[in-house]
A = this chain, B = another copy of it.
Amino acid sequence: MTTPKQDNFYMPAEFELHDASIMIFPERPGSWNYDAKPALKSFLEIFKAITKSELLYLITSNSKYTEAEIFIKKNQLQNIKLLEIAQNDAWARDTAPTFVKNNKTGEVRGIDWQFNAWGGLFDGLYQNWQEDNALAKKFCSETGYACYNAQHFVLEGGSIHSNGQGSILVTEACLLSQGRNPSLNKQQITEILCEYLGAEKIIWLPRGIYHDETNEHVDNICAFLNPEEVVLAWTDNQNDPQYALSNACLEVLKQEKLKIHKLPIPENPICITEHDLQGYVFEEGEDVREVGERLAGSYVNFYFTNDSVLLPQFGGNNKKSDLFALELMQKLCPEREIIPIPARELLLGGGNIHCLTQQIPKGGKFS
């Protein structure tokens, strides 16, 4: 039982070339209101954007397989490979494998972390997550990737960002939360992450986005644009609860050799309406939503494809900040197309574009 670092594997950055991306067809009635129909409009835009430049593995349960097949056909989507694998929800970032790559041979392998629905019995978001937890290993097995067993460690892909050169961004709020690895201290978690992600340094941001039900995943507040530049979700409004959180992260980032770009959060909070709420069907033990609840909207939850950035856009009274984010990202990533994705319905599901996607770095399968 070796670790990725022992075998010369490391986690490439998302902005490096991919062989493919992974997504999951939305199904969970407690996450995707009105039978996922509103969200599917946004999913469609993501499917189109990803498949322009790479293969997309689309995972679906048996019960949604035919619907997914028809959806692909009706929308004339190419470059999608449907895989029938059961799941409890659609957050591929958190339940699909994290992929690492051999720095000599180029081989790509998966890592199968333990998944416990963002906090298990302590503060997890639903009570049955066994299909989610089984998904990463199944995916590797079915697609032919070797897979490291890291079931001794609870982690979601959304709680880590790699710059591909030895640095990993995380948040203390998430990784030190009581619902994940309560028996491990910060130093021990640092060591495990370095060992499995082939990294040298863990950058511990204190917090994430206000009211983020993942215990503040890093992928909603801060992301690498290249090995030395990050964007940080930001607000100048001192009355916004996000102000202190973003500032605390800025203080940590300033101590690193990183160029920091502030990416303002939506100008107006995005909240659940009565109409939104009526479309959900919650199961017993599931975290329910409430009218007026502020969702963890952020433009940082974007996704790099091989030639573009898929950027959340919230519409409504956030058109100005939508446009600002679009223009800023275009300036910061001049060589990429910035593709705006209507994302309010994704946020209603509990996450955003980055949470719904997982990259497989370019490389080989040797297993």
Q: Give Cα A84–Cα B86 distance, bound, in whole angstroms.
A: 8
The smallest C-beta distance from A97 to any residue of chain B, in angstroms, reads: 15
Q: Does A151 contact B (CB under 8 A)?
A: no
Residue from B82, B86, B134 within 8 A of A141 (CB atoms): B82
A84 contacts which chain B residues (CB < 8 A)?
A: 84-86, 138, 142
The smallest C-beta distance from A78 to any residue of chain B, in angstroms, reads: 12
Closest residue on chain B to residue A81 by CB atoms: B141
Report A82-108 CB contacts with B as 1/0, cut-off 8 Å: 111110000000000000000000000
Closest residue on chain B to residue A143 by CB atoms: B142
Beyond the given A62-B85, A81-B141, A82-B138, could you list 9 further A-B residue pairs with CB under 8 A, ordered by the A residue number? A61-B62, A62-B86, A65-B86, A81-B144, A82-B141, A83-B142, A84-B84, A84-B86, A84-B142
Closest residue on chain B to residue A86 by CB atoms: B62
A134 contacts which chain B residues (CB < 8 A)?
A: 65-66
Report A155-191 CB contacts with B as 1/0, cut-off 8 Å: 0000000000000000000000000000000000000
A66 contacts which chain B residues (CB < 8 A)?
A: 134
The smallest C-beta distance from A47 to any residue of chain B, in angstroms, reads: 16
Interface size class of A (residues with CB under 8 A): 10 to 19
Task: State the A residues within 8 Å of B (CB).
Answer: 61-62, 65-66, 81-86, 131, 134, 138, 141-142, 144
Closest residue on chain B to residue A87 by CB atoms: B62
Cβ contacts A to B, 13 pairs, < 8 Å: A62-B85, A62-B86, A62-B131, A65-B86, A65-B134, A65-B138, A66-B134, A81-B141, A82-B138, A83-B142, A84-B84, A84-B86, A142-B142
Determine if A81 and B138 form an interchain contact, defined as CB atoms under 8 angstroms apart.
no
Rank and list the top 10 A-B pairs by shortest CB-CB distance, nearest first.
A62-B86, A84-B85, A83-B142, A82-B141, A84-B84, A84-B138, A62-B62, A81-B141, A142-B142, A84-B86
A86 contacts which chain B residues (CB < 8 A)?
A: 62, 65, 84
Q: Give Cα A142–Cα B139 distance, bound, in whole angstroms.
A: 11
Q: Give Cα A85–Cα B86 distance, bound, in whole angstroms.
A: 10
Determine if A142 and B81 form an interchain contact, defined as CB atoms under 8 angstroms apart.
yes
Closest residue on chain B to residue A63 by CB atoms: B86
A62 contacts which chain B residues (CB < 8 A)?
A: 61-62, 85-86, 131
Q: Give Cα A340–Cα B99 distance, bound, in whole angstroms.
A: 43
Q: Give Cα A65–Cα B135 distance, bound, in whole angstroms.
A: 11
Closest residue on chain B to residue A130 by CB atoms: B66
